[in-house]
Amino acid sequence: MDGGMTVITNPIVNVRLTSTISSFEVQRRFNRGISIAELKGKLEMVVGAPASCMDLELFSVSDKFLQKMDDNDALLGSYPVDDDCRIHVTDKSGGQMGEFSDVSKVEKFELSAEAYEKRTDTARSFMKKQRVGRFNEEEMTKKKAEHAAREEEQKAAAEAITVGSRCQVLVPGQPAKLGTVMYVGTADFKPGYWVGVKYDEPLGKHNGTVEGKQYFECENKYGAFVKPLSVTVGDFPEEDYGLDEM
């Protein structure tokens, strides 16, 4: 019986990779049985340098330089490669650090609106064929008509509301609020007709000023703008919230 001892080495080794054209460190697994030439071929896809222009240097786990890996016919396992050691790739083709991540150096592909319109393989072409969204003329015409009718309703409702009137505001999903009409008309912040209301309680969003323009005055958080159809004018007395009680 042979009294000797056989050491079985894991055929796969995990190494760290760095290069002169990238500031990032990556980890890869390689078979110790591949040649250095084969290793360079695999490294092309990792670091972006051509295999014929690579110089490889081996560093220890603690990043101490060990030796150059300059024999293309030698096997990776013939070098003192351990898990977590580092292989540094020097690109001799003239590649610069970060050139593959600098998008300013990439030639941009530009297509005119006219040329894009003629292509049949675009999202716009698909939407036209399927009559989706704004390419469904019948649906878009219907929506425009509905919007116009709604705006006419809002305008008519606004014309029936006068500044100084007491009102109740009913916005979908919110409780009813009482207040006083302070402004009626169009506004700069959004198209259409709006009613500015000063609520009886601090249930609003501002003090009558929106995006730097003052439409009316009230205390902060008491003012709000709502659509005319959300406003009902009537005899809504201001409630006594017990402020006179002791």
Q: What confidence tens digit (pLDDT) does each residue in 38-69 have?
A: 999 999 888 888 889 999 999 999 999 999 99
Q: Tell whether the torsion through CA atoms of 154, 159, 162 and 165 is positive or negative.
A: negative
pLDDT in tens, 160-188: 999 999 999 998 888 999 999 999 999 99
Q: What mean pLDDT do residues 105-130 have?
A: 63
Q: Tell whether the torsion through CA atoms of 189, 193, 194 and 195 is positive or negative.
A: positive
Element (H, E) at 137: helix 137-159
Q: Do the bridges between strand 85-91 and strand 12-19 make them parallel or antiparallel, or are there none, so unpaired?
A: parallel
SS3 assignment, position 34: coil
**pTM exceeds cut of 0.75:** no
| 157 and 231 Cβ atoms separated by less than 8 Å | yes
Average pLDDT, the chain: 83
Please enumerate in sequence order all residues whose Cβ is within 8 A of that of 55, keeping only pairs 6 or more positions apart, or say none.
68, 70, 89, 90, 92
Point out the least confidently predicted range of 89-93, 103-107, 145-149: 103-107
Which fold does the domain 12-91 belong to in CATH?
A: Ubiquitin-like (UB roll) (3.10.20)
Domain ranges, ordered by start, for the chain: 12-91, 159-233
CATH class of the domain comprising 159-233 = mainly beta
